[in-house]
Structure 1
Amino acid sequence: MMPGDGNMASIVQRIARQALFTFRSSPRAGEDASKSFLENHSKLTSLMTEVRAADLKLVPRKADDSSPAPGPYQHAAPPVTYMHICETDHFSMGVFLLKSGASIPLHDHPGMHGVLKVMYGKVRISCFDRLERLAGGTQAAPPLPGTQKGALRRSVLRSIGEYTEENGPCVLSPDRDNLHQIDAVDGPTAFMDILAPPYDPEDGRDCHYYRVLTDPQANGPEQKEKEVWLMEISQPADFWCGGEPYPGPEVSL
């Protein structure tokens, strides 16, 4: 918090300020985090632990709630919508809302940090990382046409966890839990999301989508982190993201 802010600033404002302090000098992939970054990141995750749907003026939606269709030629409303809160060169912050049964497909965050906090409902998050060294793996590459071989990525399934508003944030870094899939469980859900720096295709931070080609169980139940093969794919046809207004407190940076 900036000197003189007192306790009057909304928690959303305080999170945005802390995100700016944290990510204006964040480590890149492969770099060791500084003490200052770790301290600021800890403060940020603590603030994210505290935030609730009411702080963003979000009203939890019911399974039969539906947004208006985006246009006369659209037969369905988007399965996922996004509320933009703020964005700087160092981070973006907003809220994703998933309909009941919706998923954000497996995707990556190249060179990026992230903090995700559920506002209501429940999500299942499956986290993966790419294994850069292709030698010495436990699984052979699955048979694919030669034209698709370049799209293969040897990876590891780090974890699968379920999160509600009572849980702390899910955190990712350029080196850890950088790919993930997010599924709405047992009804609609919403989560606050910080990405640092924001996606920027012109700066090498485009979003790529993947499909799991090998069964993680093939490694055997005794292996904690399951090695898998992922194939890069186009954005799935059944996934698209619409936009809607953010109803919460204004953020000023």
Structure 2
Amino acid sequence: MGVERTLPNRKENKALHPSPEETNSISKPRKCRRRHRKMSPVQKLYETCKVVFSLCGAGVVPSSEDIQKLCSVLDAMRPVNVGLTPEMPYFRLTTARRSPPITYLHLFECDKFSMGIFCLPPSGVIPLHNHPGMTVFSKLLFGTMHIKSYDWVDAPEKTSTIENQQPATENPIPSEVNAVLPPATRLAKVKVDADYTAPCNTSILYPTDGGNLHCFTALTACAVLDVLGPPYSDPDGRHCQYYLDFPFSQFTVDGVSIPEEEKEGYAWLQEIEKPDELAVVGELYRGPKIQEK
């Protein structure tokens, strides 16, 4: 089959019949052989995301197997894996602002997914916002954080009929109960309303479930590693939209009723412009580098 079994003389075929000394030399591994470097946790996260989100897009959720695979990688992540400690300047209160600035460390982004870290000093707040058509994985690396999240309820969308309705303000809740429902307001169900302290499992939200709209409040200095698939994209219609929440009992809407004992589990969410007090500052990520392939 293309390999000759007989050759003119044995001298010319010495290489086919090496001496015992040569055999021993060949069989022993060379000490100078380069060892494979162990993949860093952040590189492993990048490689896993490439596989998990390769066939996904807006509104397309990864398979349960891929979700578990990515969660396993994120659950194992620690602050040291991304070069963070609570003593770094990102986590200090340096101003008298009611809502202190939040630092964002960009790790990676493509049209399939993005990876980044939010660094919140004590009392830092990421206001209530949505993730249209996105699956989001959030890993609290350190600290204690309060998370409140909602999912939309399929209920009739009602808007106010009052002319010249004033735009939403910082504290727009009317004084009287059962007031007219503000414009651009929809019913939502509370999914999560609890404190989380690291180390804890990765939280996941889906395009229409799991708390797609959420708010983060840092009770201590916190770092949150976020993976979004796909990322926000204004050209593709995936805008980050902000909301105010009102107690369900604040308004009465025809055709929408909730048993009295369940009302605390629902709220009205009003779409608003980006809050003026929100300040997110981008800083260079200085942790272990990601080798893009």
> For residues 145 and 44 of structure 1, what CA distance do their matches in structure 2 show?
48
Counterpart Cα distance in 2 of 1:203 and 1:156: 27
**What pairs with 1:129-208 in structure 2 (closer than 5 Å)?**
129-134=151-156, 145-146=162-163, 149-176=182-209, 177-185=211-219, 187-208=220-241
Three-state SS of the structure 2 residue aligned to 1:213 is strand
Shift of 1:118: 0.8
Aligned counterpart, 2:49: 19
1:57 aligns with 2:83: yes
Post-superposition Cα deviations, 1:182-234, rounded to whole Å, max 9, x if no partner, equal 0001x211110111111001101000000012257996784398121110011
SS at match of 1:60: coil
Q: Which residue of 1 aligns with 2:15?
A: none
Percent of counterpart pairs with the same letter? 31
Q: Name the structure 1 match of 2:124.
A: 102
CA distance in 2, matches of 1:216, 1:44: 40
C-alpha change, 1:144 and 1:59, in structure 2 (3 Å) is farther
Question: Which of 227, 231, 235 is equivalent to 2:266?
Answer: 227
Alignment RMSD (CA, Å): 3.0
1:94 offset after TM fit, Å? Answer: 0.7
Distance 1:20 1:102, change over 3 A: same
Q: Letter of the 2:230 partner, please give it.
A: P
**Aligned mate of 1:122, from 139, 144, 152:** 144
Q: Is the 8 A contact 1:78 1:241 kept in 2?
A: no
Instruction: Read off the aligned partner of 1:65 and give its amino acid letter.
Output: R
Instruction: Name structure 1 gaps, 5 residues minimum.
Output: 1-5, 70-74, 136-140
Change (3 A) 1:118 1:230: same
Aligned to 1:10: 40
Q: Choose 101-110 or 214-223, whichever is displaced more.
A: 214-223
SS of equivalent to 1:17:
helix
Mapped to 2, the partners of 1:123 and 1:8 lie a distance apart of 33
CA contact (8 A) 2:102 2:279 kept: yes
Q: What secondary structure, in the 3-state scheme, does the structure 1 residue paired with 2:239 have?
A: coil
Match of 1:138?
none
Match of 2:134 among 112, 122, 126: 112
The secondary structure found in structure 2 opposite 1:123 is: strand
Contact 1:157 1:216 (8 Å CA) reproduced: no
Matched residue of 2:85: which SS? Answer: coil
Question: Does the Cα contact within 8 Å between 2:99 and 2:125 map onto a contact in 1?
Answer: no
TM-score, length-scaled by structure 2: 0.70
**What is the one-letter code of the residue matched to 1:189?**
C
Alpha-carbon contact 2:58-2:230 (below 8 Å) kept: no
> Using the alignment, how far apart are the partners of 2:207 and 2:164 within structure 1?
28
Letter in 2 for 1:14: K
Partner Cα separation in structure 2 for residue 166 and residue 129 of structure 1 = 25
Query: 2:73 corresponds to which residue?
Result: 47
**Deviations 1:83-119 (CA, angstroms, capped at 9, x unpaired):** 0001111100010011110100000000001000111
Deviates more, 1:208-217 or 1:95-104: 208-217
Relative to 1, partners in 2 of residues 1:121 and 1:202: Cα closer, same or farther, differing over 3 Å? same
Asked if structure 2 preserves the Cα contact closer than 8 Å seen for 1:153 and 1:229, the reply is yes
Give 2:50's aligned amino acid.
L
CA distance in 2, matches of 1:65, 1:240: 15
Of residues 102, 116, 130, the one that matches 1:80 is 102
Letter in 1 for 2:138: L
SS at match of 1:21: helix
Q: TM-score, normalised by structure 1?
A: 0.81
Taking the aligned partners of 2:50 and 2:193, their CA distance within structure 1 comes to 29
The residue type paired with residue 240 of structure 2 is C
Whichever structure has more strand as a proportion of its residues is 1
Question: How far did 1:173 drift?
Answer: 0.7
Residue 62 (structure 1) shift: 7.5
